[in-house]
Amino acid sequence: MRHFHFLFAFCLIAGICSAQNMAPNSADAQGVPAHRTCASHDKYVEMMGGTKFSEMRSRIEQQTQHWESQSGEQRSNQASTVVTIPVVFHVVYANATQNISDAQILSQLQILNDDFRRLNSDADNTWSQAADSEVEFCLATNDPQGNPTDGILRVSTSVSSFGTSDNVKFSSSGGSDAWPTGSYLNFWVCNVGGGILGYAQFPGGPASTDGVVCDYRYVGDVGTATAPFNLGRTATHEVGHWLNLYHIWGDGNCNQDDQVADTPNSDASNFGCATGHVSCSSTDMVQNYMDYSDDACMNLFTAGQKTRMQALFAPGGFRASLTTSDGCAPACTIGCGCTDATACNYDSAATEDDGSCDFSCQGCTDSEACNYDADATEDDGSCIMPQDGVPCSCTSDWAFAVNNLTGTSSETFTMEATSSTGLDQLDVSVAYSASAGSSWAGDLLIGICDPNGSCIEIGGYDLTLGYTIASDWPGDWNVGAEGTYTHSVNLNSFGLTGAGVWTLEVVNGYSSTTSSGTWDATLSLTNFCLGLPGEDVEGCMDTTACNFNVAATNDDNSCFLATGCETCSGETDGSGSIVDGDADGDGVCDGDEVTGCQDALACNYNADATDEGNCTYQEQGFDCDGNALSCPEDVNNNGTVEISDLLILLGYFGCTANCSAADINGDGSVGVTDILMFLAMFGDEC
């Protein structure tokens, strides 16, 4: 049965380390992996199927080979050798056990520094090519806005286990958004689950998912760290992938290379600590961090691996921007203050900027603008004014239906619309039904492109459009059951904006052409207004009308208003309707209806009742409180036989059943005898 969940978020997914489970021993009752395994080769093959990914890997290899071909002197002249990388830890936890301590995080940071600088206490001389990688790691002290930080983000989540879905990297999916990957190594800690130790992204993949993920059980060497992966080497292995290192056996046999000359060829991975194991006519380097050995067995990177990693930081390299990152800039001690004259708290006396500059007072101060900031006191020139005929913001629906769409097949839809400030939110509702070939609801792959050519994609199984990935579908979409599926995605970080033709691509994202499915969906898009600037939009322009259209520029006399008990459904895009407020048509609005007894002779008579309810009556010869009546002619029990009693009596004249107090003689009917008895007592007090 297919449907192993592929990670489209990565150009290449490296080091998805997992294993068969042994006995559970954690708060989440997950088994401890028996040994390390990794899906990087499989992911490499999957993702290299696309031209875009192939070109990216080719560019990285060309740059690496060029760097390796230069002499040590040439390399040292071009770049500083020791590189310090700021790290931000995203601790995404569902319970207290997963919320690992600062001490455990700091132990992992120290292990990375020791391992990459070859300062680890278990370093030995078994391999002469062992080398200091000259890569260091520091806990971020400045956030992307330049504010002080301790480099540890703690995010509570309702997600019990993330797997390799990448949802941990998006706040909209219960995780934590990446900090700019040109300045930081993002290190996510969470309950990965499924026996997976961790995974990482090779250079060149999407920025939104760039970084390393480790299960909270395999971070550092204290706290929840679990043997035999309790010495922090899972992170060392995954950061190696993040720095462009392959597994030392090249994910193949003796003819497959890891692109590093000084690591011996090997026919496969090694587990445990198989020192002395021979394959491909040489001894396997089982102590290398890029093998599958247990933590206690690993202890080196080679000089060749160092050169390959350092190539990333050369001028034009794929991680060169990290060499100038100020994510770990030292704290100011003398003459500290904000030295930016454009900041709200500019300090003319400050000689050293301490990262305290505050720009919160700046923004758009024009109340007519789409991005008006009521808190701004200084206009920063960022105002976005509403375009002719199009409001600042709308929530508009984009519906589509694809029937029996086979695997890899697609349909394209277009719409003229305007988003002045960028798409903000997408709410999806999909009615799915399978046709053939083990199709799943989650096979649906959609792409949205703005008029400027910026595109995102959501979902799919083993196909990709090559766009920026905004989200996967939730895990409960990965079934073949027919039904309605919903999902919401925060789009405000993807910058989809503009006026013109927007494109929606709908694909059956499962590569099996024997599969087919039907998806009938509605996409509700916030900050998405139908129509283009300057165009006349026909519609109702009366704001009190139920079908008011905020985008209308020409009134087409189509307005209809609610009257009486009616109300409007609330839409402002012209699709509103009248809601009936008098269900029984009695002229009384539903909210004003009162159900009760409407018979004045009844003990529970309600003069305000508008709808008939149950009535209760006194027994013959007794009043409503059960007291015996002194004279039955006093029909209304007010103590006097008078005209009001006569009127009630006449109202029941001719009654032959259930005549209540009007049946004075108690014979079951109201007739002449009752009238005569009443007249005989007229005017008396009872």
Q: Are 479 and 438 in contact (CB under 8 A)?
A: no
Active site residue 482: no
Distance of CA 5 to the CA centre of its chain: 18
Q: Which amino acid is at 303?
A: A
What tokens were used for 274?
A: 């198989």
> Which of 558, 556, 536, 537 lies closest to 547, judged by CA?
558
Half-sphere exposure of 96 toward its Cβ, with a 13 Å CA cutoff? 0
CA 329 to CA 358: how far, in whole Å? 18
Cross-strand pairs, 507: 410, 445
Cross-strand pairs, 503: 414, 449
CA 260 to CA 400: how far, in whole Å? 50
How is 209-234 classified by DSSP, letter by letter?
G-SEEEEGGGSSSSTT--TTS-SSHH
CA 604 to CA 593: how far, in whole Å? 17
CA-based R_g, the chain, Å: 38
What letter does residue 329 receive in the DSSP assignment? Answer: P
CA 338 to CA 604: how far, in whole Å? 78
CA 521 to CA 405: how far, in whole Å? 14
Give the number of other CB atoms < 10 A from CB of residue 569: 12
Q: Are 433 and 518 in contact (CB under 8 A)?
A: yes
Is the torsion defined by CA of 180, 183, 185, 188 positive or negative? negative
Q: Are 495 and 361 in contact (CB under 8 A)?
A: no
Q: Are 421 and 371 in contact (CB under 8 A)?
A: yes
Catalytic residue among 238, 593, 633, 642: 238
Cross-strand pairs, 539: 555
CA 249 to CA 290: how far, in whole Å? 9
Label residue 675 left, alpha or beta by phi (over 0 means left) and psi (-120 to 50 means alpha). Answer: alpha
Is the torsion defined by CA of 504, 510, 516, 521 positive or negative? negative
Cross-strand pairs, 86: 138
Give the number of other CB atoms < 10 A from CB of residue 626: 8
CA distances in angstroms from 319 to 51, 85, 180, 205, listed in the order given: 22, 10, 12, 12
CA 314 to CA 112: how far, in whole Å? 21
What tokens were used for 140?
A: 């971020």
Distance of CA 633 to the CA centre of its chain: 77
CA 250 to CA 288: how far, in whole Å? 13
The DSSP element (H or E) to which 456 belongs, if any, is: strand 455-459
Q: Are 458 and 543 in contact (CB under 8 A)?
A: no
CA 471 to CA 355: how far, in whole Å? 33
Hey, which residues are catalytic here? 238
